[in-house]
Amino acid sequence: MNDSLAFPYPVPEYGTEPYWAACNEQRLVMQRCRACGHFRWQPAPICTRCQAPDHDWAPLSGRGRIYSWTVITHPVHPAAIAKVPYVVVEVELDDQPGLRMIANLLDAAPYAIAFDAPVRVCFEQHPAGQYLPMFRLS
C-alpha cells in the first residue's frame, strides 16, 4: 500500500488501545467513570469530572446530532487530492451533553447537512486495516 494515498492511520496510545480494538469490532466505546458515570473524550487517565481513577470502556448509542461541520475543498495532504471535497463533522453524542467527537460524514450532499441533524455511527476500514468510526445522516 502507498501510505501517501491514505490519510494517516491512528497509532493507539498506551492505555487507549481498547477504543481502537472496539472500533475493529465495529463498536463505538468511550471511557466512562466507574464512580460517577461521566463519559470523557478524548481519553484521559482519570475522570475529568470527579478525578476518580477507574473507568470502563462503555458502549455508546452511536447516535448523535451535528454540532458543526466543514466541507474541505483545499487539499493539505497528498491523500486529500482525490478526496476533496470531503466533510468533517463534529458530532454531539446523545449519550451525554457536550460529549463531542470528530469524524467524516459519509454519503451526504453538502447542501443536505444541517445543524442538529441526527446522525448514526458507521465504520469504515482504513487501508492500513484499522476500522474508523464515521457518521451518516440517519
What distances in angstroms separate CA 1 from CA 6, 86, 129, one per listed residue? 9, 22, 11
| Whether 19 contacts 60, CB under 8 Å | no
* Residue 39 parent element (H or E): strand 39-40
Cα separation, 95 vs 109, in Å, equals: 26
Taking the complex as a whole, the smallest distance from the CB of residue 15 to other proteins amounts, in Å, to: 12
Which residue in 51, 52, 61, 77 binds other proteins (CB under 8 A)? Answer: 77
Tell me how far, at minimum, the Cβ of 56 lies from other proteins, in Å.
Answer: 20
Please report whether residue 3 would count as binding other proteins according to CB under 8 A. Answer: yes
Residues that bind other proteins (CB under 8 A): 3-4, 7-13, 41-42, 48, 67-74, 76-80, 83, 86, 88, 90, 101-104, 110, 115, 126, 128, 130, 132
